[in-house]
DNA sequence: TTTGTCGGAGTGTCCGACAATTGCACAAAT
DNA sequence: ATTTGTGCAATTGTCGGACACTCCGACAAA
């Protein structure tokens, strides 16, 4: 049976506006027409329009900057990444799947980054490494237990690399995976204290990137990831156990 | 300056319900509490609750099955894929980026599939190949110009492979990329008439998968993709021109 | 030039209402 | 006994109207 059903009006509103955006009638940066205008144009109530707008909003097609007029925008990676992360967690994805994908994406990202990185990004990486040096020194000296700072810097390193690859498809694939690694990192790193090894690897990778040595960058990107896998096993966590949903409910 | 701002209430509603889902208080398949209940619990108006629910809905965290009570659900890959595709197109991603990512993901998918594929999926692939045989025969004999059928079968082939990889992260990364390839395929394939080569490659890949030969599968997956890249150039299309948004506004 | 005031526009939130549909229980018919 | 019809309660979808709050530009005052 064809299972006929008609969409609710608020969804039709969403579809209509979406088409206007993708069709180019509403360009990125343009302000969305006022809710009243839309309500009149579509011949529906303002409340209904608002519900349609919420769909657009969650999709990232419009951004609201304070209480003022929303504007059309291209969905941000962050939004998609968090959506993807949520989905993967709810689908009870395992660490093995995550790691397999990461082992694929990260070295390739490093490779492309080696070919396409520009001086500004190299300098940003250098800054990141310097910051991580002090973070590691603090952690090793016991002056601080700020694991979060280290994890954030590590993530930022990979993020800059993804940008440097100049490949937005990879960037998009990259984000959710690193997001899901974070909670695992928070658990593993403090136990194994592999700060120094991570930092060293970052330094070497930075060197390869500066020299535009794709093969080298690729190879060294694998190392900290292998460490990570071993760390996961060493802390007694099982590869094939689904990731814990609760840990991701920020 | 910390740029302080408070989220609108409907977003707080979204956050609250989202946390309940990720925290496991609301399990997948459960019905969402009624709008009235939620309004009372949160101490807000039903309209506000509804706007929050629209956010959940677009996120794919709830599905509405006709006019009845919405149920909690894990976001489907299809939804995420279409969102990602939209985002990439709006970000004016180029064919080069798409192809680079695909050249990374597809062979790896084939490799994993060779290791993890089960008999059912092998049979599904065989069915797909048989269907493509008749499609190609029709196209070559001039009995039909149904390019769409061929493209759909090709897509389905890759989809089965992604499932067979048993890696849901890859599956997720896979979807948007193939989605974006479709319009290009519709243009390229009829001009170059490489149906036969694609079909042959699929046959060979199927053989490698049946033999659980990962290296072979990986290698042969590259071939039709290389064809595709050459085809793109031969039809006069530029690698670094952004994909056409209009072609994706279904 | 900066600061204060004012009104218009627009979003955020609330209230109340009603049609349409679904779910369920119960009676009627085969 | 299974199916079919009926009535009622619950719930969603849509509507209309209302008001507070914020942002913005204009214009006056220091």
Predicted confidence (pLDDT) per residue in B59-118, tens digit: 999 998 766 789 999 999 888 998 999 999 899 999 999 999 999 999 999 999 999 999
* Residue with token string 């008999």: B119
User: Cβ B54–A55 below 8 Å, yes or no?
Assistant: yes
Which ipTM score applies to this complex? 0.85
- DSSP one-letter string for A59-108: HTSEE--TTS--EE-PPPHHHHHHHHHHHHHHTT-BHHHHHHHHHHHHHH
What top-level class would CATH report for the domain B78-248? Answer: mainly alpha
Mean pLDDT of A191-196: 86
Q: For the CA atoms of chain B, what is the radius of gyration?
A: 22
Is B123 a residue whose pLDDT tops 90? yes
3-class DSSP state of A123: helix
Which of 1.10.3720.10, 3.40.50.620, 1.10.10.10, 3.30.70.330 would CATH assign to domain A9-72? Answer: 1.10.10.10
Question: For residue B231, what pLDDT band results from cuts at 50, 70 and 90?
Answer: confident
Averaged pLDDT, B201-223: 96
Calculate mean pLDDT across residues A231-241: 87
Tokens at A96, concatenated: 């093995």
The pLDDT assigned to A232 comes to 86
Distance in Å, residue A70 CA to nucleotide D24 C1': 15
Chain D nucleotides close to protein (CB under 7 A) are: 10-18, 21-24
DSSP label of B244 = P
Question: Is the Cβ of A183 closer than 8 Å to some Cβ of chain B?
Answer: no
Candidates B5, B25, B58, B180, partner chain A, best to mutate (most A CBs within 10 A): B58
Under a CB-based contact definition with an 8 Å cutoff, are residues A10 and B54 in contact?
Answer: yes
Residue B72 three-state SS: strand
Asked whether residue A191 carries a pLDDT value surpassing 90, the answer given is no
Dihedral angle of Cα B176, A154, B167, B182, to the nearest 10 degrees: 10
Chain position carrying tokens 């349609």:
A52
**Residue A109 pLDDT class (50, 70, 90 cuts):** very high
pLDDT tens for A25-80 read 899 999 999 999 999 999 999 999 999 999 999 999 999 876 677 899 999 988 89
pLDDT tens sequence across B2-29? 667 788 999 999 999 999 998 889 999 9
CB contact under 8 A, A86 and B22: yes
Distance A67 CA to C11 C1' (A): 6
> Are A169 and B98 a contacting pair at CB < 8 A?
yes
- Give percent above pLDDT 70 in chain A: 96
- Domain coordinates of chain A in residue numbers? 9-72, 78-248
- Interchain pair B75, A87: CB under 8 A: yes
């Amino acid at each position: 049976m064809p299972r006929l059903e008609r969409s609710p009006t608020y969804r039709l509103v969403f579809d209509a506006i979406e088409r206007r955006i993708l069709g180019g009638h509403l360009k990125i940066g343009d302000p969305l027409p006022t809710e009243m205008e839309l309500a009149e144009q579509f011949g529906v109530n303002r409340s209904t329009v608002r519900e349609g707008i919420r769909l657009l909003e969650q999709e990232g097609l419009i951004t609201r900057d304070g209480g003022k007029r929303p504007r059309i925008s291209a969905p941000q990676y962050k939004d998609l990444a968090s959506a993807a992360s949520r989905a993967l967690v709810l689908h009870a994805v395992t660490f093995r799947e995550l790691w397999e994908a990461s082992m694929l994406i990260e070295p390739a990202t490093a490779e492309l980054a080696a070919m396409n990185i520009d001086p500004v990004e190299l300098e940003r990486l250098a800054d990141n490494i310097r910051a991580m040096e002090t973070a590691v020194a603090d952690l090793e000296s016991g002056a601080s237990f700020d694991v979060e700072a280290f994890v954030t810097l590590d993530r930022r390193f990979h993020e800059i690399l993804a940008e440097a690859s100049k490949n937005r498809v990879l960037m998009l694939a990259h984000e959710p995976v690193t997001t899901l690694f974070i909670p695992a990192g928070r658990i593993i790193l403090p136990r194994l204290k592999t700060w120094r090894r991570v930092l060293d690897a970052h330094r070497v990778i930075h060197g390869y990137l500066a020299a535009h040595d794709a093969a080298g960058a690729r190879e060294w990107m694998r190392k900290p990831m292998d460490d990570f896998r071993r760390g996961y096993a060493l802390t007694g966590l099982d590869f094939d156990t689904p990731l814990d949903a609760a840990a991701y409910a920020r």
